[in-house]
């Protein structure tokens, strides 16, 4: 089967959503299918079965295919750790720290790595569903594009172009995108989709006719926004749609380089906090993971959130740090090799009797753990560095190998375990909250139905032929 490539007119139009839907639809039809994205930029990642990490969106798509996350599914992952630089992960492993202005020097090599991973994956599966990044028509990036239509051209993929209508401008974005594409790449685009429509779709019938006539390609469908379907978000751009403050019981510090914010989806809705909230007492405040613990800790202090956290604790709030947030809760964070920051050392918040030294190698693994009450659960770790605890500490949990993990004090928890608070039993034991987690399988199935029921059947089958 020819590979299917999902491109977009912009970021946040639903490329990951469509790719996940196609993955589950093909899997339900009995096709051996796998996801692929040549290059991803996100601090949301997930451990691979063979070690290493890939972007969370491709791990989600792998779940929809009923596969484990594999490094070849996302061979290049950029994890921003400063306004102008990123840690570059290649085929699952940390490769280099690169400034944006220098990245172009490496794109030829990285393009070859991406093709290598794709070929290896395509040799194992009947169908590959590929996802692009941002807009496919970034004209200033054509010569060094490794993840959009230059890549689709290299693998001879069928291309579906997705546009979002929710924020307006759908006509200009579709017409302008195709107009800017080189002729060889434009020929790859076999259909377009209009996503996130609200209301009666018959009101857009004239719009579909205009676009099909102007673009010379058919419309796969006008797809409604369905907030009842939930899948993990690719990056923190989705947080921009969340209400800033609604005086809820749970608050999460929105660090500038936040990572793995999916840790809080089972607890949603939560308040995302960027500055002190006056006259509101939270029950729980989380400090999430971050790609740059040292610099984000300094940002937290500039925002005076360190004092605010103390006030929240005195008022009865539990303070919980996950991964980088756990490191911040300690007495000191050292970065002698400047792995994340040019600042070599910073004083921690002092909530827990621990200290951290950032160093290689990077830990990326899934783990089995057991709570103090004996509940067994699965979680995962993705972090640089080692956290040392003072004698006599109370651990958060015990790992299957017998080692203790994390640290607890009255009203304070620190842990490296992402996904721990997805489990109702863990939440009930440590937070005294009842949650009803969503079934991912159910949502993937509903997503496949959403795709099939809203698509023009003939065009859908042509894309999958």
| Rg of the chain taking only CA atoms, in angstroms | 23
Q: What is the DSSP letter of 151?
A: H
Instruction: Tell me if 166 sits within 8 A of 194, measured CB to CB.
Output: no
Strand partners, 357: 334, 386
**Mode of pairing for the β-strands spanning 189-197 and 219-224:** parallel
CB atoms within 10 A of CB 270: 21
Instruction: Tell me if 3 sits within 8 A of 130, measured CB to CB.
Output: yes
Whether 383 is catalytic: no
Residues in the chain: 465
Catalytic residue among 219, 323, 383, 443: 323
Nearest of 18, 435, 6 to residue 223 by alpha carbon: 18
Q: What is the DSSP letter of 143?
A: G
In degrees, rounded to 5, the angle at the alpha carbon of residue 168 between the alpha carbons of residues 167 and 174 is: 115
- 120: tokens are 């290896």
Catalytic residue among 383, 418, 423, 443: 418
Q: How far apart are CA 130 and CA 133, in angstroms?
A: 10
Nearest of 464, 375, 44 to residue 239 by alpha carbon: 44
Instruction: Tell me if 147 sits within 8 A of 107, measured CB to CB.
Output: no
Q: What is the DSSP letter of 35?
A: E
**Residue 258 CB burial class (10 angstroms; 0-12, 13-18, ≥19):** buried
Q: How far apart are CA 409 and CA 395, in angstroms?
A: 9
Query: Which whole-number Å values give the CA distances from 335 to 69, 341, 354, in the listed order?
Result: 30, 7, 15
Q: How far apart are CA 240 and CA 257, in angstroms?
A: 14
Instruction: Tell me if 328 sits within 8 A of 321, measured CB to CB.
Output: yes
Which CB contacts under 8 angstroms, 24+ apart, belong to 152-157? Answer: 152/3, 152/5, 152/7, 152/185, 152/188, 153/184, 153/185, 153/188, 154/115, 155/3, 155/5, 155/115, 155/118, 155/122, 155/130, 156/2, 156/3, 157/2, 157/3, 157/4, 157/5, 157/130, 157/188
Whether 130 is catalytic: no
Show which residues are catalytic.
Answer: 323, 418
């Amino acid at each position: 089967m020819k590979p299917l490539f999902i491109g977009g007119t912009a970021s946040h139009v639903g490329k990951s959503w469509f790719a996940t839907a196609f993955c589950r639809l093909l899997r339900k039809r009995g096709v051996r299918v796998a996801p692929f994205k040549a290059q991803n930029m996100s601090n949301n990642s997930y451990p691979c079965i063979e070690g290493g990490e890939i972007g969370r969106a491709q791990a989600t798509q792998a779940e929809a295919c009923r596969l484990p996350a594999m490094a070849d599914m996302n061979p290049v992952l950029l994890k921003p750790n400063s306004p102008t630089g990123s840690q570059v992960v290649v085929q699952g492993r940390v490769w280099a720290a690169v400034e944006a202005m220098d990245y172009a020097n490496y794109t030829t090599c990285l393009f070859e790595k991406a093709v290598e991973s794709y070929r290896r994956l395509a040799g194992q599966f009947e169908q590959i569903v590929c996802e692009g990044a941002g807009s496919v028509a970034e004209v200033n990036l054509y010569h060094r594009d490794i993840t959009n239509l230059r890549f689709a051209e290299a693998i001879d993929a069928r291309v579906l172009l997705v546009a979002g209508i929710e924020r307006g401008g759908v006509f200009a974005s579709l017409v302008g995108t195709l107009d800017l594409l080189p002729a060889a790449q434009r020929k790859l685009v076999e259909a377009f989709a209009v996503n996130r429509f609200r209301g009666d779709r018959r009101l857009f019938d004239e719009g579909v006719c205009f676009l099909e006539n102007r673009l010379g390609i058919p419309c796969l469908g006008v797809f409604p926004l369905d907030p009842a379907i939930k899948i993990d978000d690719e990056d923190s751009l989705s947080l921009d749609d969340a209400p800033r403050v609604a005086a809820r019981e749970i608050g999460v510090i929105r660090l500038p380089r936040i990572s793995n914010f999916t840790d809080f989806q089972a607890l949603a809705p939560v308040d995302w906090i960027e500055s002190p909230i006056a006259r509101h007492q939270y029950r729980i405040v989380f400090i999430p993971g971050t790609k740059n613990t040292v610099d984000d800790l300094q940002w937290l202090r500039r925002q005076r959130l360190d004092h605010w956290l103390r006030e929240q604790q005195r008022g009865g709030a539990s303070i919980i740090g996950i991964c980088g947030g756990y490191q911040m809760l300690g007495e000191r964070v050292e970065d002698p090799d400047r792995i994340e920051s040019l600042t070599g050392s910073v004083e921690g918040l002092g909530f827990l009797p621990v200290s951290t030294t950032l160093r290689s190698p990077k830990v990326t693994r899934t783990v089995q753990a057991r709570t103090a009450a004996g509940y067994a659960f699965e979680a995962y770790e993705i972090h640089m560095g080692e956290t040392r605890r003072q004698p006599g500490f109370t651990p958060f949990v015990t790992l299957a190998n017998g080692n203790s993990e994390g640290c607890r004090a009255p009203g304070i928890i620190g842990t490296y375990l992402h996904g721990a608070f997805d489990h109702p039993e863990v939440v009930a034991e440590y937070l005294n909250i009842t949650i009803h987690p969503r079934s991912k399988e159910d949502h993937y199935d509903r997503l496949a139905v959403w795709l099939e029921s809203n698509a023009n059947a003939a065009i859908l089958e042509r894309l999958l032929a």
